[in-house]
Amino acid sequence: MIRAAFFDIDGTLVSMRTHEIPASAVRALEALHRRGVLLFIATGRASSEIPTSVRALDARLPFDGFLTFNGQYCYDAAGVVYRDCPIDPEDVRRIVELAERGVLDVAVMQRSGQFVSGHSPRVVESERNVDSLMPEKDLRLALAEPTYQFCAYVDPEDTHLFMDVCEHVEHTRWCDLFCDVIPAGGGKPAGIAATLERWGLAPEECVAFGDGGNDVPMFGCVGTSVAMGNASDDVKGAATMVAPDIDDDGLLAACRELGLA
């Protein structure tokens, strides 16, 4: 029996075309809620950057928890934090120094907000995809408070630029434009593990929905995994089932196929 569902945001719960939650997806979550299924957001976004549409839905159909920064900062509906794992400060300093030297562009992601080192075409395209504009700030602010994640705007073959100088990080990739730099041993699996322990859940009692490369590790932590139709072939191949595109009522179709709606 499914007792909990985990949802990525961009391209899974929120349309990349309209930047809104489709009405059919809302109906799917309402059906899950009526069944007593626990609802969790599992996103690479910062806790301060949850889209307005998700916050509006949360106000009337509360999510039971949020796994933000790819699972590095997790909190329940009451705001109680049950996982808090920022990047090692020395690795933060090393990545900041690379960005200051122009080796790569980065976005710095902290609880108070996020900012970028510059607006290269790659950064601009990434912002356009998620309908979010980040300010440019002094990169040294990354050292002023805990940094939970960097977005490094590099190709897959260039991740060595930061991996060669850091000691306690790993990376995961949602799309071709950038990768997320997170603490070693972290990621959505770590957030899900903390959530399962917090609520006394077994993996086989959980379903996860996603569309990006950073969702693939999450798929391995649950009994049922659903790749959206807009996902890449690699992501689809890692899931136990494939749903239609989010814009083609994919969430609702998947929940109906699973007997949950």
- List pLDDT tens digits, range 65-81: 999 999 999 999 999 99
Closest by Cα among 200, 59, 180, 192 to 130? 180
Q: What is the mean pLDDT of the chain?
A: 95
Question: In a 3-state reduction of DSSP, which class is residue 249?
Answer: coil
Residue linked to tokens 């999450």:
218
Number of neighbours of residue 111 by Cβ within 10 angstroms: 17
Domain ranges of the chain: 4-84+187-257, 89-183
Q: Tokens representing 214?
A: 């950073």
Q: What is the pLDDT of residue 176?
A: 84
Contacts of 169-175 with CB under 8 Å at 24 or more apart are 169/87, 169/88, 169/91, 172/44, 172/70, 172/213, 172/214, 172/217, 173/212, 173/213, 173/214, 174/10, 174/44, 174/212, 174/213, 174/214, 174/215, 175/126, 175/129, 175/212, 175/213
Q: What is the pLDDT of residue 235?
A: 94
- List pLDDT tens digits, range 153-208: 999 999 999 999 999 999 988 778 899 999 999 999 999 999 999 999 999 999 99
Instruction: Give every CB contact of residue 2 below 8 A, 6+ residues apart in sequence.
Output: 37, 205, 206, 207, 224, 258, 260
Report d(CA 227, CA 212) in Å as an integer.
8
Q: Under CATH, which number does the domain 89-183 receive?
A: 3.30.1240.10
- Residues in the chain, pLDDT under 70: none
Angle (CA) 100-103-105 rounded to 5° is: 75
The CATH class of 4-84+187-257 is: alpha beta
pTM of the model: 0.92
